[in-house]
Amino acid sequence: MEFYREVEKSIIKKYRKEIWSKFVQAVKEYQLIQENDKIAVCISGGKDSMLLAKCMQELKRHGQIPFEVEYLVMDPGYHKQNRLQIEENAKKLNIPIHIFESNIFEVTEQVKGNPCYLCARMRRGCLYSKAQELGCNKIALGHHFDDVVETILMSLFYGAEFKTMLPKLHSTNFKGMELIRPLYLIKEQSIISWKNYHDLKFLNCACRLTDVSGELVSKRKEIKAWIKEYKKINPNIDINVFRSVENVNLDTLIGYHKQDQTYYFLDDYNQKKD
C-alpha cells in the first residue's frame, strides 16, 4: 500500500475517535462547510495544517456535502531547505499544493521588538487575497483545541479580558470571505501521536528570525506550560476552560461589550430588586 494511503486509513480507522470524529463533529456542529463552498486550506508546513489538508481530502472524498478545495502554501521567504521539506511532505502525503511567494519575512525583519504579531496579520491578509483570487469563499486554518484553550487564558492573564478563538468568523477586510477552523475540537496530543505513528517530520517554525536567534519565548508557551502543570491536579482543566466560553452567565458579570455596545451591572441593578 502506498504511504499516503496508509496515512489516510489511519485517520479514519486508528485515529477515528481522537481525530476523524472530532473533525466531523466540528464541521457539523459549527456549520463550517456548506454546499458548493470553495475552500483554501492554508498549509504552513507544520503538523496541524498538514493533518487538516488530509482530513479535508477525506471529507471531500467521503462526505455528503459537495465542495471544492485548494491547498494553498505561501512562501513568505523560507530558507530553501524549509520550502523543500514542505514540497516533499506534500508529495509524500499526496497533497496537490499551490505555492505562491511573498516578502513578509523581509518586511518583518525590519521591525523592532517582537515581529510575530505583524507577521501573523500580514500572512493572514496574503492568504485571504490569494484565496479570493483563486475563487475561494473561505480559508481553513489548522488551529486546534489547545490553541483555543491557550487563547482564552492568554486573554485573561495578559489581556485583562474574556474572549476566545471562534471556530469561524467573517473577514472584515475581504468581503464575502470567511475563516474556518475544522480542527477546533482535536487535541494537540492526538495530532502529535498521528505524526509520530507515521514518523512524519514537519516544520516547527520556519521563521528566519527564529533560525538566527533561537526559539522565541512567547506568552503562549508560558500558558502551555501552566496548563501542563495544573493538569497534574485536575486532568480536565483544559476541557473546563474550553467549556467555560459556552456557559457564560451574563447575570454574574460586572460588565461586557458587544460591538459598540457596553453593559455595566449597575445599569439596571435597581430595577432587579424585589
Helix (H) or strand (E) holding 263: strand 261-264
Mean pLDDT of 96-104: 86
**Residue 256, domain member (yes or no):** no
The pLDDT value recorded for residue 270 is 81
The answer to whether the beta carbons of residues 207 and 44 sit under 8 Å apart is no
Q: Is 124 exposed, middle or buried (0-12, 13-18, 19+ CB in 10 A)?
A: middle
Mean pLDDT of 116-142: 88
The pLDDT value recorded for residue 212 is 42
**Residue 167, domain member (yes or no):** yes
In angstroms, the Cα distances linking 239 to 149, 186, 227, 246 are 8, 11, 11, 11
The answer to whether the beta carbons of residues 221 and 73 sit under 8 Å apart is no
**Residue 273, domain member (yes or no):** no
**pLDDT tens digits, 203-231:** 876 555 554 433 444 788 899 999 999 99
Q: Any idea what the CATH number is for the domain that residue 171 is in?
A: 3.40.50.620
**Residue 25, domain member (yes or no):** yes
**Residue 226, domain member (yes or no):** yes
The pLDDT value recorded for residue 213 is 39
**Residue 268, domain member (yes or no):** no
Helix (H, G, I), strand (E, B) or coil at 72: strand
Neighbours of 190 (CB within 10 A): 19
**Residue 65, domain member (yes or no):** yes
**pLDDT tens digits, 144-160:** 999 999 999 999 999 99
Give the relative orientation of helices 237-244 and 219-230 as an angle to the nearest 10 degrees.
120
The pLDDT value recorded for residue 108 is 63
The x, y and z cell numbers of residue 120, run together, are 501573523
What is the per-residue DSSP string for 19-47? IIHHHHHHHHHTT---TT-EEEEE--SSH
> Distance between CA 188 and CA 194 in Å, rounded?
10
- The pLDDT mean for the chain works out to 90
Instruction: Count how many domains the chain has.
Output: 1
224: Cβ contacts below 8 Å, ≥ 6 apart: 146, 150
> Distance between CA 211 and CA 209 in Å, rounded?
5
Domain that holds residue 190: 3-248
More confident residue, 124 or 94: 94
Helix (H, G, I), strand (E, B) or coil at 100: strand
**Residue 272, domain member (yes or no):** no
User: pTM for this structure?
Assistant: 0.91
**pLDDT tens digits, 107-116:** 666 666 566 6
> Distance between CA 227 and CA 205 in Å, rounded?
22
> What 8-state DSSP symbol labels residue 217?
P
pLDDT band (50, 70, 90) for residue 120: confident
- Sole residue written with cell 501542563: 228
